[in-house]
Amino acid sequence: MPVPDFLIVAGLSLAVALVVMTLTALAAVRLGRVSVVDVAWGLALVGVALVCAVVAGDWQSWLLVGLVAVWGGRLSSHIFTRARGHGEDPRYRELLGGPLPEVGVGVAVRRVFLVQGAAVWLVSLPLQAAALSSTSWTTAVWLGLLVWVVGVVFESVGDAQLSAYKRDPDRGPVMDRGLWSWTRHPNYFGDACVWWGIWLVGGVASGWLAAAVTVLSPAAMTVWLVWITGARLLERTMMKRAGYPEYAARTSMFVPLPPRRGARRS
């Protein structure tokens, strides 16, 4: 790939990420909470996918627009609906060291919005690769679509099951039904699968060099979901809930596995 073309695509992708995060930071100041960044996250990646497709103009990039739009649109809509009427997410309060009005917007920009903007650019590497290279391995596209479907199913079914649990007046102290009996975070697992699928469609299908460079995207997404702002951070709070330690003892944290036998149910 010519260096000027790479710089154009990379620069445009970074510009989209920075614009979205700047607008999100302004919205966060107005609302008094930085958790709005979770809504903007998926939309930022949809924007990057669109820019890459306009630059490339081929079927592979427009397919990626569809995959990212379905994932990002569903995720942003779900988070927006879930968060409506609620305050700051405890994860972000812990990350900031306090509420946004107390710690100040400068701290939020450094610890959340700049990091999220850089993460959008990094995760979008397969989209950028597809805009710069022609498809050389269509089998990877079909395999990627399969992995993507698995991810979307885990995310959407897991979220629907959790919503049904919250509406059930006879629910137990901990959600341990359906997919949640196999993994404590089916939505995070699904999110990771979506981006491993997109890597196959955009990175691997574009050739071995693109695959090697862009593997940073799904790897970073998985690390992010498990150890940084996802499962591990959430579980610091969840472990204080009655019944959750027992649930954790019998249920895989991330990768779906059969429940462990002999562990006591809450």
From residue 214, give the alpha-carbon distance in Å to each of 70, 130, 200, 220. 21, 10, 10, 10
Residue partners of 196: CB distance under 8 A and separation at least 6: 144, 147, 151, 218, 222
CA distance 66 to 190: 17
Q: Say whether both 124 and 171 belong to one domain.
A: no
Listed residues 132, 161, 183: the one ending a domain: 132
Do 182 and 105 share a structural domain?
no
Q: Are residues 160 and 197 in the same domain?
A: yes
Q: Are residues 1 and 58 in the same domain?
A: yes
Domain span at residue 198 reads: 134-266
Q: How wide is the angle at C-alpha 61 spanned by C-alphas 135 and 143, nearest 5°?
A: 60
Is 108 in contact with 36 (CB distance < 8 Å)? no
Dihedral in degrees, nearest 10, Cα atoms 85, 77, 189, 64: -160
- Angle subtended at Cα 48 by Cα 45 and Cα 49, rounded to the nearest 5 degrees: 85
Instruction: Phi first, then psi: give them for residue 42, nearest 5 degrees.
Output: -65, -40
pLDDT of res. 1:
46
Please give the tally of structural domains in the chain. 2
Q: For every one of its 266 residues, what pLDDT tens digit does the chain have, with 9 covering 90 and above?
A: 444 587 889 999 999 999 999 999 999 999 888 889 999 999 999 999 999 999 988 899 999 999 999 999 998 998 888 877 778 887 788 788 888 888 888 988 988 899 999 999 999 999 999 998 877 788 999 999 999 999 999 999 999 999 999 999 888 889 999 999 999 999 999 999 999 999 999 999 988 888 999 999 999 999 989 987 778 878 888 888 889 999 999 999 999 999 987 655 54
Q: Do 106 and 187 fall within a single domain?
A: no
CA atoms of 99 and 151, how far apart (whole Å):
33
Residue type, 141: V
pTM over 0.85: yes
pLDDT at 264: 54
